[in-house]
Structure 1
Amino acid sequence: MNDLRITGVSKGYGPDAKVLDGLDLRVPGGALAAVLGPSGCGKTTLLRVIAGFLRADAGSVTVGGRVLSAPGTHLPPESRRVGIVPQEGALFPHLSVARNVAFGLTGLPRAERRARTEEMLGLVGLGGYGDRMPHELSGGQQQRVALARALAPRPALVLLDEPFNALDSALRTGVRADVRAALRATGATGVLVTHDQQEALSMADLVAVVRDGRVAQCDTPQEVYRRPADTWVARFVGDAVLLPGTAGATGDDTATTALGRLPLAAPAGGPGDGSVLLRPEQLRLRPAGSAPAEGTVTDVAYYGHDAMVTVTVDGLAAPVGVRVTGPVSVRPGQRTGIEVTGDATLHP
């Protein structure tokens, strides 16, 4: 299997400009990993090191046991069997769609190149588009051609560098699905670099959250969202409700907060204060006087599929967000009750 292993990789642009700082990451063969993080955390530098465009200062990169980069070893990009899907497609404007896809198929007989090109265009839903020029395609179609071009030489690894940024939101969802399906069909290992939390959670098998040049947490999307490693990851990956809380004795599986006594996903390691994490969809609005906590609605933000209701809770300094699906029956200035569903996570 074409598993990707990154071990202790460091890269800087000067003595005081270290971007990657001993980063470790493993992606199983055939999986798609999303590398998620804020601007400047080292995502693009990591991708360029994997591709061979940059030489790492330390550490190693292997794919399927084949060493691409290590102390004393640096394979050039063209020898790595790594496909790249850049931002906005970056197709050759003077070549047809078919010739763009076939660009990396040097050394194959013409009939094989044509067959592989047609196969890849069919895989990304563009069968019959081979004679068109890039300027005749929409942005989403250009991205699918770029993916077909990357997959055509049968790479061991495909790198996707924020490939959906230039697409509008309606088109982005469909292209994401097409890209994910194409990667699964070929069995290629993939690494998606993005700063879009929704994109990472919805597309990837694994989400690696990068902070200050290291992986702060790498797990399935569900675990990263529901059980973040710390409060920074919790805030970065989705909306978070963080409350001051107090745990009981060792083994106690509850914490006392301004929203009541809440069950914990794992027993506390001992008595003490900490931050209790909930997600906004775990909170429910109830009539005033009928719930463990009460507060005053200060804002209602409507998004169509749901709404975020901001409530200043009695006894809590910071307001909390409550995600509401369906009709919103409260208005700013109104008193409301709040109850919690599900369990919480305590971060000491």
Structure 2
Amino acid sequence: MDLKKDSIIKLFFYYFVPALCAMLALSTYSTIDGIFVGKKIGEDGLAAIGICWPIFPLFIAFELLFGFGGAAIVSYFLGKDQSHRARLVFSSIFYFVAIVACLIGLIGFVFCDQILDLLVAKKPIGAHIKELALIYLRIIFLGTPFFILHPLSDIFVVNDKRPILATLAMVIGSLSNIILNYIFLFKLDMGIEGSALATLLAHCIGFGVLVLHFLTKKGKLYFIPRFSFAAIISSSKTGIPESVSEASAAIVMLVFNATLLAIVGDIGVKIYSIMMYCGIVFFTFLLAVTQALQPLASFNYGAGNFVRLKQILFFSLFMVLLMGGVVYGLFFILIRIWLGFF
């Protein structure tokens, strides 16, 4: 594929279709995870996961701060045929994010009780829900490096012109999560621990598939024994908009959970947890557009094709408006069927 000359529509769908498949796989396993928890553990299990849910957007916000900005810089250098500089940026970001992710996980595990109090804004919750939430949260913090490095690797694999591999990794991870969730919950009766562990192992598997691409040097991006702090600063500046946007989602969830706990109690969080699964599916389509747009826009910006860049942006905006309207309409019509799954 020639990102400078091929048809914009052809290139867009070359990246969009694998991205959509990957995101649908992610949203499917997340939704089935919720269905399994609802059927096996009940409403308290859904409420516990709903309370812990803001942690995941915060993980993604941290990853996007360096990953999205770094990927834009990497594509820029690849567009200018400066692969050595692209590898330096990629390696620096990966090393830095891996170290900080380990520290975040350690701190989160040690101060799990205090973090849970913050997640519910110190509002009273049922003892059973609190117990389940603490168990779930501890396992999630143990796997922090994988929850962050998996999507980070996905972004760079896509920018290394391997969108199908990124999709394959996501599908493998999603299928692993569904299978492990079923085994841990229904066969081994592991409860909320099984759900959290299945989610963690799925991310480990997905990350393993992606990191092999860099270790085997099958593309232009691979690890080099060099580090540039300047690359970290530059990527964080570029990634701030995406990071803030994702962090705001966590804040919205926190506010909703705290407000619902204060007004209607535990039942409010249980209902909101189900609706969050609806939101995951909705935003899947919009995020797939951004994943298709980013490598195309960054590459052509680096190549100096500014007229082509505008055409790419306008087409992406059209796709966002089209799919947003279609998906919203489908949920509006089929919402009762959706709620029945849980």
TM-score by structure 1 length? 0.23
Greater strand percent: which structure?
Answer: 1
TM-score by structure 2 length? 0.23
Greater helix percent: which structure?
Answer: 2
Higher CA-based Rg: 1
